[in-house]
Amino acid sequence: MKIEKIRLATSNAGKLREYERLAPGSALALDLLPGFSQLPLFDETAPTFAENAAGKALHYSRFTDEIVLADDSGLSVRGLNGAPGVHSARYAGPDATDGDRNRKLLAELNGKTGADREARFICVTVLARHGNAIAVVSDFVEGTITTEIRGADGFGYDPVFYLPELGRTFGEATTEEKDRLSHRGKAFRKLLAWIAGEAVSS
């Protein structure tokens, strides 16, 4: 199957811009799914990122003849038994800000050191068409949780996620650095390689 265009299962123009940055020079056309906000909402209540991403892709692909991309991502912290995990966006409540979530995370880790502060950002990306999955890819980036908020860039847990190879948090990283190293960037590049027919390691 030759894939030339993909619709993102979101109404978030910022997410579209991020994916476009991750595919510089690609002939692949990316766009938002038309009328997304008027479509029946998919309830992301599955216990894993993969199930949420697949469920979302399959659900929204039933409303268009085009190929749909959906992803699910979040933060897993070793000392919290994998939390916040699939609840990353709702960790501090449905109306919480990024700052609220970061402060709660730091409070939960107060007094924990070493391996307990090891963390992993995970992203699962799924392509689907007419209610059938076409491709499922995933990737991650490993780091540690800081003891304070550092940096004003990025979003979510970026200001508390420290990458040893950068020597700073995602909140302090440039857009180019984050695109190169992030879980979403790595997963999407795997997907692009698959689309191009290249061998992709599992």
Domains defined for the chain, CATH in brackets? 5-195 (3.90.950.10)
Give the per-residue pLDDT at 198. 52
pLDDT in tens, 83-139: 999 999 999 998 999 999 999 999 999 999 999 999 999 999 999 999 999 999 999
Q: Which two tokens stand for residue 75?
A: 């933060």
Claim: this prediction has a pTM higher than 0.85: yes
Point out the catalytic residue in the list 71, 72, 158, 179: 72
The dihedral built from the CA positions of residue 133, 138, 176 and 150, taken in this order, carries a sign that is positive
Residue 1 CB neighbour total at 10 angstroms: 8
Give the per-residue pLDDT at 27. 83
72 is catalytic: yes
Give the per-residue pLDDT at 108. 97
Nearest alpha carbon to residue 8 among 28, 26, 121: 28
Indicate the length of the chain as a whole number. 202
